[in-house]
Amino acid sequence: MVDRRVVEIWVGVFVLLGGLALAMLAFMVGNVRVTELFGAQEYQITAQFDNIGGLKVKAPVTLAGVRIGRVSSIYVDQQDFRAVVEMTISNSYNNLPTDTTAIILTSGVLGEQYIGIEPGGEETFLKNGDQIILTQSALVLENLIGQFLYSAGGDGDTDGISKLAGTLERLIERLFEEESKKGAK
């Protein structure tokens, strides 16, 4: 049997190592900031959108590309059937003007969607619980194509549509060619 003192030391080391490993997972792998543990200094604002596309809870909220908060919840306003997005913003950015614009953007071609904030010029600032009035919805590819087709064939003739279809076909062929070239490399 191992000496009692040695056992105690080893168990102490073991438990300490476990605590360190958990701390490492929490702080280095997970995204816990020390300030978040002691009651985060942040405030909530909302914004209404016609269409949020693929926006998800916890998506980043950015100002000039810098992350200043995150989406905390998404639901539908029962009165006017628009999407309401609640955002949690860090208190260090509590001077956003009231005429700030919220835009749903996409990072990269197929990336995640996030909210971009563009500050306006008002002297008064958004407070906890305020709503951003100026918003711009997500770009939905299907709607975009639909609008494009409509405007192309708007003047009654179907010529525009077939022209557009031809353009699309050529575009897709080009894309495939480039892909196969890349693959060959």
Partner 1 sequence: MMFGFFADLGRAVLDRVNRLGRASIFFVQVLAASWQLIPRFQLLLQQIYAVGVLTLLIILVAGLFVGMVLGFQGYTTLVRFGAEDSLGLLVALSLVRELGPVVTALLFAGRAGSALTAEIGLMKATEQLAGMEMMAVNPLMRVIAPRLIAGMIAMPILAALFSAIGVLGGHLVGVELLGVDSGSYWSQMRENVDIYDDIFNGVIKSLVFGVACAWIAVFEGYDAVPTSEGVSRATNRTVVYSSLSVLGLDFVLTSLMFGEA
Q: Measured between alpha carbons, how far is 96 from 130 in angstroms, rounded to an integer? A: 11
Residue closer to partner 1 (CB basis): 14 or 150:
14
Smallest gap from Cβ 10 to partner 1, in A, equals: 5
Which of 93, 101, 92, 94 has the alpha carbon at shortest distance from 121? 101
Smallest gap from Cβ 42 to partner 1, in A, equals: 16
Residue closer to partner 1 (CB basis): 89 or 126:
89
Residue closer to partner 1 (CB basis): 37 or 121:
37
Whether the CA torsion 43, 71, 102, 132 is positive or negative: it is negative
Backbone angles phi, psi at 41, to 5 degrees: -90, 90
Count of positions (residues) in the chain: 185
Smallest gap from Cβ 180 to partner 1, in A, equals: 15
Smallest gap from Cβ 48 to partner 1, in A, equals: 26
DSSP state of 151: H
- Which residues of this protein are in contact with partner 1, per CB under 8 A? 2, 4, 7-8, 10-11, 13-15, 17-18, 20-22, 24-26, 28-32, 58
